[in-house]
Structure 1
């Protein structure tokens, strides 16, 4: 589904991504974890060209994301992206947020988009919130609307950039439960997360990054019980004991 080949990116003299190579197969869930400043968000944002790259290539279903020949808007219709800060339209209801892109981008009939949008919101426990505006919703509810909005485009790939980092602790579980449900459908996902228990439980692979490099890639049980690098051991000692 995703093929990242020798990708590098710098801001001036600061190397943000340093020769990244990664393959994400269809229907697999990969967690990107690591300390702040490791390059995780830059990497996930570069998968749908929200960030540019200076070297290498990223392919999604065989299409080169950063090629000048690629119609990026068309490619993005296959890639759902959930931000840490929700990014909902404040002047639209929950349902209108979910139906906006299917109606305006996919030219779906309003009635069909609304039927589908209501079903998506209901599947995420939000059937009562269709006509409420983002300002009337809790952070966890807003993030679930954002997930429904991404799913409304029927993407083949979902990217999550720290989807729970802006949430109060009691709201984190409802968002993670929504992602767990999505995992059961066989959706291909890449998740940048600080939630180690979630990463261990749900993900097929852990990709540990530090200083712009992929330091270690392993199955969750292996990574959490027997990390192979000193950098990973140091990181886990800090995050799991605190």
Structure 2
């Protein structure tokens, strides 16, 4: 579903992604983990062209993301993206935040969009918050509205860029539960996360990155119990023991 081939990304003379190759099959959940500055967020942002690339190719369901002739808005409608900072419209209610893109981008009727929006918000535990504005919601609730907003476009894949890092610890669980539920529906997902327990439990594969490179890709059972590289062993030693 997502195919990343020989991707290189630089900011001026600084190379932040070095010859990245990764295949994410349909209905699989991949966690991108690693130290800060490893290139995880940059990589996930190249998948929907929030970042450009200098070399290589990225395909989402067979469409080349960075090709000049690709209709990027059409492609982005197929790629749900959840940011760490929610990015909700403060002047719109939770329901309006969820329905604005289906109505304006996909041309779905308001009634249909609202029915679907209510269904999505309810499924994420926000059935009583349709009329609430972002400022009236907790961080965890805002992030779940952001997830519902992404799902309202019926995406083929979902990308999460550290979806819990801006949250208070007690709100992390409700967002992870929402992503866990989504994984159960067979959605193809790539999640940049610092939550190792979540990565271990939910994900089909762990992609460990450091210094702009993919160092190791392995199933969670293998990666957490027996990492193959010194770099991964060192990283796990620090994050699992502190």
Category of TM-score, reference length = shorter chain: over 0.9
In the other structure, the counterpart of 1:236 is: 236
TM-score, scaled relative to structure 1 = 0.99
Partner Cα separation in structure 1 for residue 12 and residue 227 of structure 2: 33
In the other structure, the counterpart of 1:194 is: 194
> Given the alignment of the two structures, is residue 31 of structure 1 paired with residue 31 of structure 2, yes or no?
yes
Over the aligned positions, Cα root-mean-square deviation in angstroms equals 0.4
In the other structure, the counterpart of 2:83 is: 83
In the other structure, the counterpart of 1:101 is: 101
Long gaps (5+) in structure 2: none
Per the TM alignment, residue 15 of structure 1 is displaced from its structure 2 partner at its CA by 1.2
Helix, strand or coil for the counterpart of 1:186? coil
In the other structure, the counterpart of 1:121 is: 121
Partner Cα separation in structure 2 for residue 74 and residue 166 of structure 1: 29
Per the TM alignment, residue 12 of structure 1 is displaced from its structure 2 partner at its CA by 2.1
CA deviations on 1:175-196 (whole Å, 9 max, x unpaired) are: 0000000011000000000000
Aligned residues: 242
Partner Cα separation in structure 2 for residue 103 and residue 13 of structure 1: 42
Long gaps (5+) in structure 1: none
Helix, strand or coil for the counterpart of 2:214? strand
Partner Cα separation in structure 1 for residue 170 and residue 202 of structure 2: 19
Partner Cα separation in structure 1 for residue 63 and residue 152 of structure 2: 22
Partner Cα separation in structure 1 for residue 130 and residue 87 of structure 2: 17
Partner Cα separation in structure 1 for residue 116 and residue 217 of structure 2: 37
In the other structure, the counterpart of 1:149 is: 149
TM-score, scaled relative to structure 2 = 0.99
Partner Cα separation in structure 1 for residue 109 and residue 229 of structure 2: 53
